[in-house]
Amino acid sequence: MARSGSLAALEQRLADQRREDDRLARERRQRSGEQERLRQQEHRESQQQEADDKTAAVQERMKALDEVLTSVLPLRPLSFDRLMAVPRTPEFDPGPLGDAVPAPDWNDYAPVPPAGLGRFLAVAVRHARQMAEARARFEAAQAEHGIQTAERRRALAAAKARYDRKVTEERARAVARNAYVTSRQSAFAAGDAEAVQWFVDGVLRASKYPDGFPREYQVAYRPERREVAVDFELPPRRVVPSARAYRYVKPRDEIEPVPRAESEIIKCYERLVSAVALRTLHEIFSATPPDVVRAVAFTGRVSTVDRATGKPLRPELLSVLAERSSFDDLVLAEVDPAACLARLNSLVSPG
């Protein structure tokens, strides 16, 4: 009976162990399943965030394109005064060389004098020896301090000399630059074609466009007509995003673009190139006086490839001749760029 009882107890313990193992296995599966669900949820949230970020980037890009004209209207136009150089001469900074190292202090070296009866005994002899040794260390420290001070002063003088040379060179460059700008200004006021072209080129070069815009252009001046002619490289149509937004498709676990209608791309691009033309006219007219520039002829081209020959082409996409008197009447912050160019009798080719 005892053996039977022991066997039954063993079987019971084994059964209890199996149940415990099963319970632990279920808990592990539950934890693993919960972790997988959390991982999948985090992945979906990450995908959705990426789609949202891409959508925000597209919207920001469209905003920048939409404001190509209006963003520059409040800006101060370029002038000859702004082209003048101002020497950059910060105060001389000696850095660590400006900090003198404190001289040695005898109190840091002097031995403690003997007290009590020690002064009448052999201790006095030892103290005298300590004083001599301390004096020697102190004098050595003074000598080392003198060497360090002299080296610091030499290094400081060399640094100041380098600073003075840089200041002199910077001021000389500024004087030369300003003399050059002044000579250009005089020639510009006299209607010299090369000087006017130089200044207008600077106006266009200083104009900041969104990323992806070409920055090629040519400027000519016809003094007899007081007319600036600009041959301008326009951005290609692909600067307009082909996607309106991005969405996350959960069943396929993919982020896909929401296409922008071709008609919308065409309309956006027409508005954009019209805005570029108006912006260029505005920047030139606002930076030049009427007695030098009476009119601006803008020709916009776009670089492409002839599909029939495979050769590069730069067809004319837009052209407009604007008189200052007509342009000054425009309220550019409120106009529709394409309609405004049509009013100025521009010629626009299909993009």
Task: Tell me the per-residue pLDDT of 187-229, one tens digit each, with 9 for 90 and over.
Answer: 999 999 999 999 999 999 999 999 989 999 999 999 999 999 9
What band does 23 get if pLDDT is binned at 50, 70 and 90? confident
Question: 348 pLDDT exceeds 80?
Answer: no
Instruction: Give the 3-state DSSP-derived string for 263-274, with helices as H, strands as E and coil as C.
Output: HHHHHHHHHHHH
Task: Give this prediction's pTM.
Answer: 0.75
Place of tokens 């520039």: 293
| Distance between CA atoms of residues 290 and 197, nearest Å | 15
pLDDT at residue 110, as a whole number? 82
- What's the pLDDT score for residue 50? 94
Instruction: Report the half-sphere exposure of 337 (CA within 13 A, side-chain side).
Output: 24
| b/e sequence 213-241, b meaning 16+ C-beta within 10 Å | beeebebebeeeebbbbbbbbbbebebbb
- List pLDDT tens digits, range 317-328: 999 999 999 999
pLDDT digits (tens, 9 = 90+) for 47-98: 999 999 999 999 999 999 999 999 999 999 999 999 999 988 889 888 888 8
pLDDT (mean) for 33-55: 89
Percent of the chain scored above 70 by pLDDT?
94
Closest C-alpha to 316, from 306, 301, 296: 301
- The DSSP output letter for 116 is G
pLDDT in tens, 231-290: 999 999 999 999 999 999 999 999 999 999 999 999 999 999 999 999 999 999 999 999
Q: How far apart are CA 307 and CA 192, in angstroms?
A: 43
Show Cβ contacts of residue 166 under 8 Å, excluding neighbours closer than 6 positions: none
Query: DSSP code of 234?
Result: P
Q: How far apart are CA 85 and CA 80, in angstroms?
A: 10
pLDDT at 184: 96
Where residue 312 falls (left for φ over 0; alpha for ψ -120 to 50; beta otherwise) is beta
Which residues are within 8 A (CB) of 104 and not within 5 positions of it... i.e. 6 or more apart? 138, 141, 142, 145
Q: Which has more pLDDT, 115 or 116?
A: 115
The contacts found for 33-38 with CB under 8 angstroms, 24 or more apart, are none
- What is the pLDDT at residue 347? 65
Q: What is the mean pLDDT of the chain?
A: 89
